[in-house]
């Protein structure tokens, strides 16, 4: 038996292996691998399963809007009261902010409203960026201005879909991973 010298080349990568064989068209560019690994290493928590919130299973760190925001009526003005609403305190650089999520089930999807509120000031710091990534590509994005007291993004998704929320300002960023 003769062993041949063979050169191995990395053509790309996949974020999740879901099959034994992966078509070349599904490979992500190798140039983005380090960014992906960095994002995984700096994720602030395990994946939060939002559909479980509807059955009362809440992950550590999430709490009621009323206990997080003061006054609580600032969050979700004019929204239906039958929705599930929770929030989480996040340290982002020198700023304390709250990430709040409202879930409203519909016939075949879940309507999701994400909001960011200041916890240590009357307004958000300017240029705070709220980004929703869908499979690592930007899906929705919002940026605070000089006197914004909250940011919000609204979208819908199906059970089992994944998304990432990234909060960033200057050199600081925090990432939260979710499954609907």
Q: Residue 45 has what pLDDT?
A: 54
The first and second tokens of residue 16, run together, are 């999740």
| Among 66-80, 93-107, 112-126, 137-151, the least confident range | 66-80
Residue pair 133/172 in contact (Cβ under 8 Å)? The answer is no
The first and second tokens of residue 23, run together, are 């078509």
The yes-or-no verdict on residue 106 having pLDDT over 80 is yes
Task: Please give the model's pTM, rounded to 2 decimal places.
Answer: 0.70
The first and second tokens of residue 111, run together, are 């309507």
Quick check: bond before 71 cis, omega within 30? yes
CA R_g for the chain? 19
Q: Which residue has the higher pLDDT, 74 or 143?
A: 143
pLDDT more than 90, % of the chain: 47
């Amino acid at each position: 038996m003769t062993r041949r010298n063979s050169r191995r080349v990395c053509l790309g990568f996949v974020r999740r292996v879901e099959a034994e064989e992966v078509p070349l068209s599904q490979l992500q560019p190798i140039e983005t691998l380090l960014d992906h690994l960095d994002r995984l290493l700096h994720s602030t928590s395990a994946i939060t399963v939002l559909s479980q919130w509807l059955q009362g299973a809440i992950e550590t760190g999430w709490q009621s809007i009323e206990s997080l925001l003061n006054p609580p009526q600032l969050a979700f003005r004019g929204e239906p009261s039958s929705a599930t609403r929770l929030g989480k305190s996040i340290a982002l650089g020198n700023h304390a902010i709250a990430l709040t999520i409202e879930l409203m089930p519909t016939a075949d999807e879940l309507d999701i409203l994400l909001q960011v509120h200041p916890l240590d000031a009357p307004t958000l710091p300017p240029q705070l960026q709220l980004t929703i990534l869908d499979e690592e590509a930007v899906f929705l994005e919002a940026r605070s201005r000089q006197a914004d007291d909250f940011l919000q993004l609204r979208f819908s998704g199906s059970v089992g879909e994944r998304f990432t929320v990234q909060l960033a300002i200057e050199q600081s960023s925090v990432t939260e991973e979710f499954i609907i």
